[in-house]
Amino acid sequence: MSQQQRRPWIVGVSGASGTPFAASVLRGLLAAGESVDLVVSRASRLTLLDETGIAFRDAHWREDLRGWLARGADGKPDTFAVSEEGLDGVRHWAAGDLAAGPSSGSYPAKGMLIVPASTACVAGVALGLSKDLLQRAASVTLKERRKLVVVVRETPLSGQTLKQMVALDEAGAVVLPASPAFYAGATHIQDLVDFVAGRVLDAAGVPHQLYRRWEGELGGSRSS
Q: Tell the smallest beta-carbon distance from residue 13 to ligand FMN (Å).
A: 8
Instruction: Determine if 114 is a binding residue for ligand FMN (CB under 6 A).
Output: no
State how far the Cα of 187 lies from the Cα of 107, in Å rounded to an integer: 41
- The conformation of residue 107, written as its DSSP 8-state character, comes to S
Site residues (CB under 6 A) for ligand FMN, limited to 74-113? none
CA angle 62, 64, 70 (to 5 degrees): 95
Nearer of residues 47 and 164 to ligand FMN, judged by Cβ = 47
Instruction: Determine if 12 is a binding residue for ligand FMN (CB under 6 A).
Output: no
CA dihedral 128, 130, 133, 135 (to 10 degrees): -30
Q: Which of 19, 119, 141, 190 binds ligand FMN (CB under 6 A)?
A: 119
Half-sphere exposure (Cβ direction) of 72: Cα atoms closer than 13 Å: 12
Instruction: Determine if 201 is a binding residue for ligand FMN (CB under 6 A).
Output: no
Among residues 204, 8, 17, 9, which one has the least CA distance to residue 121? Answer: 17
Residues with Cβ within 8 Å of 47's Cβ and at least 6 positions away in sequence, in order, are 15, 16, 17, 18, 19
Instruction: Determine if 154 is a binding residue for ligand FMN (CB under 6 A).
Output: yes
Nearer of residues 160 and 209 to ligand FMN, judged by Cβ = 160
Assign 11 to helix, strand or coil: strand
Burial class (CB in 10 A: 0-12, 13-18, 19+), 167: middle
Q: Tell the smallest beta-carbon distance from residue 125 to ligand FMN (Å).
A: 9
Q: Tell the smallest beta-carbon distance from residue 132 to ligand FMN (Å).
A: 6
Q: Tell the smallest beta-carbon distance from residue 219 to ligand FMN (Å).
A: 33
Q: Which of 100, 113, 115, 121 binds ligand FMN (CB under 6 A)?
A: 121
Q: Which residue is nearest to ligand FMN (CB)?
A: 15
Instruction: Kindly list the residues in this chain that would bind ligand FMN in the complex (CB under 6 A).
Output: 14-17, 41, 43-44, 46-47, 50, 118-121, 153-154
